[in-house]
Amino acid sequence: MTPAPIVRHLGLVDYEPTWRAMQRFTEERGPSTPDEIWFLEHPPVFTLGLNARREHVLAPGAIPVLQIDRGGQVTYHGPGQLVVYPLLDLRRLSLGVRRLVEVLEGAVVAYAAEQGVAARGSREAPGVYVGAAKLASVGLRVRRGSSYHGLALNVSLDLEPFGRIDVCGYRGLAVTRLADLCAVSDCAGAARGLLPHLLEGLGFGRRAQSAISTASQAVSSR
């Protein structure tokens, strides 16, 4: 039986060292390395996917812009957004990339439904939507049969910076957040509520081995 993933709650951590830590973890892992799921928040940053077009960044102002190695176009991360990085051996889990996207979307849809919010995934434009507004974004990278990057769920973050970009490459795409739709207003609570649905979607039932550590310990040790 594949062991349940280690779950790390990293708090507020800078984007670039966390990204580099994901790359190192993926490069160094072996066939018996346990999977991990990282829950965290980032300080304000715009990120561009591998093939993203710079013109979708309209007016970044003082917010840094990073070109990174995930799929997708441009998005925004900031405090109050729950970011979930599933570091998974997809071959061991018998998961394809499309199925992993569906699992991430489905976990958010199920969690939102518990809060009385009707959300849906999208095959045409990956992510989770409430009406026409985007609640969560999905962007992944697969290397050596393993995944990194992942999911960004808008909980209580300031939505203004989304107006400075073409969200996910779509001009005028609206965004929303849980704090405006239900009683959820903090990322820690959202992480607790989302995790069981994510584990279930990945085939672990609701089992989890938890490794709670500070951001500096978790990131700098890799």
Does a structural domain hold residue 41? yes
**How far, CA to CA in Å, does 114 sit from each of 9, 37, 134, 171, 178?**
22, 22, 18, 31, 12
Counted domains in the chain: 1
User: Which residues share a beta bridge with 137?
Assistant: 152
130 within 8 A of 118, measured Cβ to Cβ: yes
Residue type, 136: A
**pLDDT for 178-194, tens place per residue?**
999 999 999 999 999 99
Residue 75 belongs to domain with CATH number: 3.30.930.10
Stated pTM of the model: 0.93
Q: What is the pLDDT of residue 30?
A: 95
Cβ neighbours of residue 82 closer than 8 Å, sequence gap 6 or more: 39, 41, 152, 153, 155, 187, 190, 191, 194
User: Which residues share a beta bridge with 146?
Assistant: 89, 143
Does a structural domain hold residue 110? yes
Does a structural domain hold residue 1? no
Distance CA 17, CA 140 (A): 17
Q: Which residues are catalytic?
A: 168
Does a structural domain hold residue 174? yes
Q: What is the pLDDT along the chain (222 residues), one digit of tens a residue?
A: 678 899 999 999 999 999 999 999 999 999 999 999 999 999 999 999 888 888 999 999 999 999 999 988 999 999 999 999 999 999 999 999 999 999 999 999 999 999 999 999 998 889 999 999 999 999 999 999 999 999 999 999 999 999 999 998 988 899 999 999 999 999 999 999 999 999 999 998 755 444 444 444 555 444
Distance CA 169, CA 16 (A): 22
Does a structural domain hold residue 207? yes
141 within 8 A of 149, measured Cβ to Cβ: yes
Distance CA 151, CA 107 (A): 10
Domain limits at 209? 6-220
Distance CA 207, CA 216 (A): 26
**pLDDT for 89-110, tens place per residue?**
999 999 999 999 999 999 999 9
